[in-house]
């Protein structure tokens, strides 16, 4: 309960922080980049989605099952394919936005703690490289998780919870990406960040889940979700670092 309360409070306060710090203009950068990337991916998806669905249906020999089971498997495959597209889209977008998110996180940190940071071109390159490293590792782990969930689709009643499991899996790793913007600034290595994530897994899960919910709001979600989540995640991470320092 403590974790969800802290995260919800951070998200509710993030809108006022964005206004006070003067970050409102940064709503548009992730929105424009996200919309452009979305269009590119949808064009590509139209070419491969049908073939991918047919390929998976053939692997599992769906036509040989009872009609109800066949319908359940088709829905499951559709959910997996949709989740895969979203995973690729989200992973690429977060890598592209890493310098921007790092800068926003820095501004929030400066306002909340008074610490000054010298944001430079080298920092941009470091954010991009670290974002790629974290993104690739998270992407591989999520693919493995999706594969395991897909195998569980044959087990009743687990197959009924496939959408929720996919949602929680992606939320967990998405939250980590946002938390890492602050950890990087505090000189955490990727390995140390991963240890921090395992310790604070529920915070990561809530942050990533709320991001996904906001992101899926038609049209405006793509504009508000990255900035609001970055601000909230920075506030939460600073609180967790403070607690660790005091303990």
Over residues 60-113, the pLDDT tens digits come to 565 555 566 556 666 666 666 677 777 777 778 887 888 788 888 889 999 998
Q: Which residues of the chain have pLDDT under 50?
A: none
pLDDT for position 211: 92
pLDDT for position 154: 63
3-state secondary structure the chain: CHHHHHHHHHHHHHHHHHHHHCCHHHHHHHHHHHHHHHHHHHHHHHHHHHHHHHHHHHHCCHHHCCHHHHHHHHHHHHHHHHHHHHHHHHHHHHHHHHHHHHHHHHHHHHHHHCCCCCCCHHHHHHHHHHHHHHHHHHHHHHHHHHHHHHHHHHCCCHHHHHHHHHHHHHHHHHHHHHHHHHHHHCCCCHHHHHHHHHHCHHHHHHHHHHHHHHHCCCCCHHHHHHHHHHHHHHHHHHHHHHHHHHC
Whether residue 247 lies inside any domain: the answer is no
pLDDT for position 54: 62
pLDDT for position 164: 82
Whole-prediction pTM value?
Answer: 0.81
pLDDT for position 72: 62
pLDDT for position 64: 58
Q: Give the domain range for residue 94.
A: 2-241
pLDDT for position 230: 94
pLDDT for position 39: 77
Total domains present in the chain: 1
Whether residue 246 lies inside any domain: the answer is no
């Amino acid at each position: 309960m403590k974790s969800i309360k802290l995260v919800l409070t951070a998200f509710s306060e993030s809108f006022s922080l964005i206004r006070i710090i003067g970050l409102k203009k940064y709503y548009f950068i992730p929105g424009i980049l996200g919309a452009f990337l979305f269009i590119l991916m949808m064009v590509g998806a139209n070419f491969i989605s049908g073939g991918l669905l047919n390929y998976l249906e053939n692997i599992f020999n769906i036509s040989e099952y009872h009609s109800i089971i066949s319908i359940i498997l088709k829905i499951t495959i559709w959910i997996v394919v949709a989740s895969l597209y979203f995973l690729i889209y989200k992973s690429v977008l977060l890598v592209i936005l890493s310098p921007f998110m790092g800068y926003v996180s820095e501004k929030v940190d400066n306002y909340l703690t008074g610490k000054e940071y010298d944001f430079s071109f080298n920092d941009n390159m470091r954010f991009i490289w670290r974002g790629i490293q974290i993104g690739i590792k998270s992407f591989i782990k999520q693919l493995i998780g999706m594969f395991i969930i897909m195998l569980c689709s044959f087990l009743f009643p687990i197959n009924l919870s496939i959408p929720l499991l996919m949602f929680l899996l992606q939320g967990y790793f998405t939250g980590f990406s946002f938390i890492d913007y602050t950890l990087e600034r505090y000189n955490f290595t990727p390995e140390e960040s991963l240890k921090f994530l395992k310790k604070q897994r529920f915070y990561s899960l809530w942050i990533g889940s709320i991001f996904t919910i906001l992101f899926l709001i038609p049209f405006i979600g793509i504009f508000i979700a990255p900035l609001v989540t970055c601000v909230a995640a920075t506030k939460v991470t600073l609180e967790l670092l403070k607690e660790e320092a005091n303990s």
